[in-house]
Amino acid sequence: MDKLQKPELLIPAGSLEVLKVAVDYGADAVYIGGKNYGLRAKAGNFTIEEMHEAADYVHAHGAKLYVTVNIFAHNEDIDGIKAYFHELKETGLEEKIDAFIISDPGIFTLAKEILPGIEIHVSTQANNTNYLIYDFWRKQGATRVVAARELSLKEIKTIREHIPADMEIEAFMHGAMCISYSGRCLLSSYFTGRDANQGACTHPCRWKYAVVEEKRPGEYLPVEEDDRGTYIFNSKDLCMIEHIPDMIDAGINSFKVEGRMKTALYVAVVTRTYREAIDDYYTSKELYESKMEHYREEIAACTFRQFTTGFYYGKPNEETQIYDCNTYVKNRVYLGTVEEVTAAGELVIHQKNKFCVGDAIEVMAFDGENVDVEVLAIHDEHGTEMESAPHPKQLLCVKVSNSEKIRKGMIIRTRHCAA
């Protein structure tokens, strides 16, 4: 890929609120799921009406909208998927959705027949590990294929060298890694009956395990490689903020962030940081390299499980796992999104976590700056003065210092204090 062709920054959204955050902070495209047939059944996901609003919002800001239909279908799913596609067509979404993300060849065929106006991107779930697979999907009519997570950058570069320039490669840039290649996991279905390949994963790779000897039921023996612990499947999170030049050199067209179940704060932090880093690199390599410590600090301002480069530079080893716990690192707490800035300079928000009058908090500006402000006063929608905001989802007006730099849609956060 020509370095002049800047890669797309593709961000997940599990709700309309989070989609708007992604676009406001610089996403080139956003991927979402409908209420059915996507691989994140526990995300909020989108109704038909919300899809229309989402499409209008992203297109008004020059971005694109992709919709996941990436389950592996069973026979009983087929009639429902046909009905879903017809509903999208009849409600005018064929003209608004920029692409589907699909893994199942049968669903691919239905989409081409019922909604021929929508491009199709082949999901990472389809195990896309070599250039012949890319060429196969191109001949079926796909315009993009998402690389399997187990590919190295060297392998992706080889794929690029063997496929036409107009066939796009999408690859993961950031987010949770799966214990199973390309997400094709059977553990959840085996343990709980909830099928990960149908969108209902219970994330058993994050659980703590022990061994039970067949003739000693109830006697649990710890699973330990050493004294660090027993979370033997618990991978660190992918983070490629330091390796943007290598991903560009590999010929990747779209840098994908994982996380349709993540919070607005996570999406804001990751989107803004990668947007800044990509744009800085395309300004000059020297600028990008000089700001590396800044990118590292910013990308760590959301929840994560420590970082790894996954398979990109070779097979993962013992350093890519977390053995002693399954909890996230949490450096910031999400307080709310600015829904309005009043004429008096007060911030209108639906509060997400507790904060108090006198607290020092931080507002994430769209341009990369963090605006430090002090909470001067809080009152509820009835005008009642409050010393603190302890009730999640309460509508509040918040008077802060330095409000002239704050705009609608900005995320408000504070530093996390360990109990």
Distance in angstroms (rounded) separating the CA atoms of residues 288 and 275: 12
Distance in angstroms (rounded) separating the CA atoms of residues 222 and 209: 7
Domain spans, the chain: 8-180+235-320, 332-415
Enumerate the H helices of 284-353 as residue ranges: 285-290, 292-299
Same fold, 8-180+235-320 and 332-415: no
How do beta strands 210-212 and 168-175 pair? unpaired
The residues facing 237 across adjacent strands are 307
Query: 8-180+235-320: which CATH architecture?
Result: Alpha-Beta Barrel (3.20)
Q: What residue has token string 């080889």?
A: 158
Closest CA to 336 of 261, 270, 418, 409: 409
Class of 332-415 per CATH? mainly beta
Residue 140: both structure tokens together: 């079926």
Residue 110: both structure tokens together: 């239905």
The confidence score (pLDDT) of residue 418 equals 47
Sign (positive/negative) of CA torsion 371, 17, 124, 201? positive
Could you say which residues of the chain have pLDDT below 70? Answer: 1-4, 38-44, 179-186, 190, 196-199, 205-206, 221-235, 303-305, 316-330, 416-419
Half-sphere exposure of 95 (CA within 13 A, CB side): 4
Cα dihedral 237/243/249/251 (nearest 10): 20
Q: What residue has token string 């959705």?
A: 97
The confidence score (pLDDT) of residue 262 equals 83
Closest CA to 303 of 254, 351, 242, 353: 353
Distance in angstroms (rounded) separating the CA atoms of residues 19 and 136: 32
**Per the confidence metrics, is the pTM higher than 0.95?**
no
